[in-house]
Chains A and B, each alone.
Chain A
Amino acid sequence: MSTIESSTPNQTQSSDDAMIRVNELGKRYGKFKALQGITFEVPRGQVLGFLGPNGAGKTTTMKILTCFLAPSAGSAFVGGYSIAEQSLQVRRLLGYLPEDTPIYPDMTVLEYLEYVGDIRGVESGLRRRRIGDLAEICGLMKVLSRPVGHLSKGLRQRAGLAQALLHDPPILVLDEPTSGLDPNQIVEIRQLIRHIGEEKTVILSTHILPEVQATCGRVIIINEGRLVADGTPDELASQQHDNSYHVVFDASGFTASGQSDEAIQEQLERVPGVQSVASTSPNEGEFSFTIKGESTLDLRKEIFCCARDNEWILLELQRRQLSLEDVFRRLTR
């Protein structure tokens, strides 16, 4: 190994509070560009969700951060240590749960955790206590003496999580931590991750969107090796606002006075700021419309006033929020 392992963080590049700092990271596999200039930072105590379709570069980024792969371009610092030059220090700071939880199938859960603790240099008294605590937290008590190869996917996943947490690392990198778990386990693991994220820095990748909303304070979306969005789940949803409204009127009043939904549509189109109005299939006794606004201006007031002036009975008025699903689909299509 030709790399120099110095024990102090690389001060020239390390920053104040960023636990992870990724700068113009690129990775090629032969001719295929898996990552093309990704830049982001993660401060202490943040759970960062890494979103993207399959093959977007999530796992590659994680493998680079955990020093399993070397980047083809750019640099990355973990806890102030360079992944290229201080890889041992970086790996000491990290707990890593790779995709598909590759754990030696011939070892029992207890043997494996002992082995990891040994290599991680967790002193034996503390190790025993940590293993006990984590077995409790991760629900592994009953399977400690079973070989990993005999466990279900969910249990193996939890063993993997226990393994990543064993040395109490300040930074956790979790590649699809809830895949293969049943709904109850998913809720438990999310709670656990949120709890961990209060003090530690967590990066988790997923393509399950509700997971991000449930666990992450911040989301990064990557697509085809490029960063396409970065923000809190709410910010992302509002940035991608398409300013449309859903309104429903009581139809009984109109039919009595002989007014049709076309007349209402016409009136609505005259409201300043409205771009288009479309009638949507109504329920019995209701007229409903989808209104699109021109700018990002909030038109709810104007729509209400229009209804009041015409003495229409307004049943529903809703400004449509894009869900993270919509944002994701939009950005990665």
Chain B
Amino acid sequence: MRNILTLGRRELGAYFNSPIAYIVIPAYLLITGYLFFSQVFLVGDASLRDFFGTAPLLFIFFLPAITMRLLAEEKRTKTIELLITMPVTDWQVVLGKFLGALGVLLAALALTLVYAFTLSSMGTLDWGIVSAGYVGLVLLGGTYIAIGLMASSWTRHQVAASLITWAITFTLYLGGKLVPMMPRALAPAVEYLSLDSHFVNISRGVLDTRDVIYYLSLIGVCLFLAVQSLDSRRWR
């Protein structure tokens, strides 16, 4: 556990030592800020519904920028040699990297709490719904990060890693949107796999165990595949 935290801290540090964090976080805040304030002041709807509702789509664009470097960069610059030859297991490496990237997401999400506080200063805000929404955002974002980390473990090219991540997350996202047009036999399966449909309940403030299990198991599968890919380098 101590190793995982050390690796995670190093990973988080790397984001803040480089421009990545200073580009991705403000860009995310800019867009969510625009969506939030336009909803409040132009539409006159004082809620976080759009902020939560757009997250599954926004994350598709922002999170690969964070995750693409995780393992691809280590492989390209060969720093992975020093990392892997230290007494750490592949699982510790993957979990450390996952936590590091999750840290950037948490930093960005923490800053968006400003929107919630703005609303609560203007009137009453149901903090229950907001907390459920944030838990959902972390689960959703964690899933994207796990997918991105898995893609990053497959290649030494960051751009390739981000394209693979886009392809997977887009498919999982659009799958949910296409459910109404699907043959009846397929629809439930596609809907279950869709990243988006599980988030709808959560963003309404309903934390269903089935949704939580969905995200957690997807994270688990992706991290497992990343570990397998990391281990496979030894046999090539």
Contact = CB atoms under 8 A, between A and B. Distances in A.
Interface of A: 1, 29, 63, 66-70, 88-89, 91-92, 94, 96, 98, 100, 102-107, 111, 115-116, 118-121, 147, 163
Contact of B85 (A1, A94, A105, A111): A94
Contacts of A94: 85
Contacts of A29: 236
Contacts of B90: 1
A241 B192 CA distance: 77
Contacts of B85: 66-68, 91, 94, 96, 98
Contacts of B18: 106
Given A102-B78, A119-B3, A163-B82, A91 B87 contact: yes
Residue in B227, B234, B235 with the greatest tally of chain A CB atoms within 10 Å: B234
B93 to A, nearest CB: 10
Contacts, number: 72
Interface in B48-90: 77-82, 84-90
A115 B5 CA distance: 11
B78 A88 contact: no
A302 to B, nearest CB: 57
A102 B18 CA distance: 17
A102 B17 contact: no
A106 B21 CA distance: 13
B87 A119 contact: yes
Interface stretch (B6-14, B100-108, B174-182): B6-14
A104 B77 CA distance: 9
Kindly list the 10 A-B residue pairs having the minimum CB-CB distance in the complex, ordered from nearest: A106-B17, A102-B78, A70-B234, A91-B87, A66-B85, A102-B79, A98-B81, A92-B87, A118-B6, A96-B85
Contacts of A1: 89-91, 227, 231
B89 A119 contact: no
Contact of B17 (A63, A68, A92, A107): A107
16 contacts: A66-B85, A67-B84, A67-B234, A68-B84, A91-B86, A91-B87, A96-B82, A98-B81, A102-B81, A103-B79, A104-B10, A105-B77, A106-B17, A107-B13, A116-B86, A118-B6
Nearest to A63: B81
A279 to B, nearest CB: 55
Nearest to A65: B85
Nearest to B18: A106
Nearest to B236: A29
Interface residues of B, number: 28
A31 to B, nearest CB: 13
A118 to B, nearest CB: 5
Interface in B80-137: 80-82, 84-91
A92 B85 CA distance: 9
Nearest to B10: A115
B78 A100 contact: yes
Contacts of B86: 91, 116, 119-120
Contact of B77 (A88, A102, A147): A102
A91 B85 CA distance: 6
A119 B1 CA distance: 11
Nearest to B90: A1
B14 A104 contact: yes
B7 A119 contact: yes
Nearest to B15: A106
Contact of A104 (B79, B89, B233): B79
Given A88-B87, A102-B80, A104-B79, 5 more contacts: A1-B91, A63-B81, A104-B14, A107-B14, A147-B17
Contacts of A118: 6
B6 A119 contact: yes
Nearest to A2: B231
Given A68-B234, A119-B87, A103 B82 contact: yes
A111 B84 CA distance: 18
B89 to A, nearest CB: 6
Nearest to B227: A1
Contacts of A92: 87
Contact of A98 (B3, B78, B233, B235): B78
B78 to A, nearest CB: 4
A163 B81 CA distance: 13
Contact of B82 (A98, A106, A111): A98
